[in-house]
Structure 1
């Protein structure tokens, strides 16, 4: 379930991520945040991320899955390649108890979008916790994505399904210089638009071309 093409090898790492991470920033309300890799051995953290992601699937308006994911499916889908978490007030330390609702601001993954000759193009999936929405967390994670993806070894990114009735997501990618390169008509049966099939937009970013030339 890690991709529609099965398991795809990662690209050759271009930069030691320890030289890039953690990435710190401040949200619009003054909250200090840090982005770090998800520790897949932190069972409490992963269980929280899994539950929150399933709640988003159940809401049925942003991701294409209709069924909730079990633990292995979540790991295969969200954690199998490079997954990151944005935390409030410092890093998530191992063997430490947290109030995850307070600590976790958001999460995202980076993984290959296509196999073989096209595996230099990545995909990303982003999720901001409900109580931190509207504070700029999505933009912060998008900016981090533009740093981390080429460091991992990807040359470009394509988001396949940005639903047209998700103006917050569209605003983030256009603000960060992603190009809308395609539209998939009637792509999604979404709970927030029960009377119609919703078009999906495709957003592309070339990591090898300066932003001002895209």
Structure 2
């Protein structure tokens, strides 16, 4: 299957919102408020930072169907702006087809081109094993785990990994 990554356009939100909403309301992998409205979620996802380096992308198939999305941005302002971060969401119907990998590979290339020294994921739910394994396969390591910082609906309090990948 061909998966292309391109910058998201405002009209892509109508395709992103259904899987964004499904993922967030499941409360298994993201710390976003499950009561976010579409408008609030759109502002959060499509404009992830006031930095001119912030970017939102979509993964599309040959027909142009949106399969997933990512947003990327400096992890912190000022003295922390040399470290990038990102978030990824893949439509449940497209999981297991390499969409997350392609989105992350594109993000890593973008971060390198943009002059970042490293990438830090601040809150990877430790029980999200597919994501943890993918990030590790792409060169990330677990820098630490903050215990009991995520209230999983089935497993109770679980940890959040901080994951790190150097670019230089």
| Fold in common (TM above 0.5) | yes
Question: Could you tell me how far 1:159 is from its partner in structure 2?
Answer: 0.5
Question: Could you tell me how far 1:153 is from its partner in structure 2?
Answer: 3.4
TM-score of the two chains, using structure 2 as the length reference: 0.89
Give the Cα separation in 1 of the matches to 2:37 and 2:74: 22
Give the Cα separation in 2 of the matches to 1:129 and 1:191: 20
TM-score of the two chains, using structure 1 as the length reference: 0.71
Are the counterparts in 1 of residues 27 and 34 from structure 2 also a CA contact under 8 Å? no
- CA deviations on 1:176-211 (whole Å, 9 max, x unpaired) are 111211111101011232xx2011111101111xxx
List alignment gaps of at least 5 residues for structure 1. 1-30, 93-102, 209-214
> What is the DSSP-based 3-state SS (H/G/I as helix, E as strand, rest coil) of the residue aligned with 2:152?
coil
List alignment gaps of at least 5 residues for structure 2. 48-53
Structure that is richer in strand per residue: 2
Residue 5 of structure 2 aligns with which residue?
Answer: 35
Question: Could you tell me how far 1:50 is from its partner in structure 2?
Answer: 2.1
Larger Rg: 1
Residue 55 of structure 2 aligns with which residue?
Answer: 82
Are the counterparts in 1 of residues 67 and 90 from structure 2 also a CA contact under 8 Å? yes
1:51 equivalent in alignment to 2:18: yes
Give the Cα separation in 1 of the matches to 2:15 and 2:66: 9
Note closer, same or farther for the CA distance 1:153–1:74 as it changes in structure 2 (3 Å cut).
farther
- CA deviations on 1:77-109 (whole Å, 9 max, x unpaired) are 21113100000006x4xxxxxxxxxx1111101
Matched residues, number: 162
Give the Cα separation in 2 of the matches to 1:106 and 1:55: 13
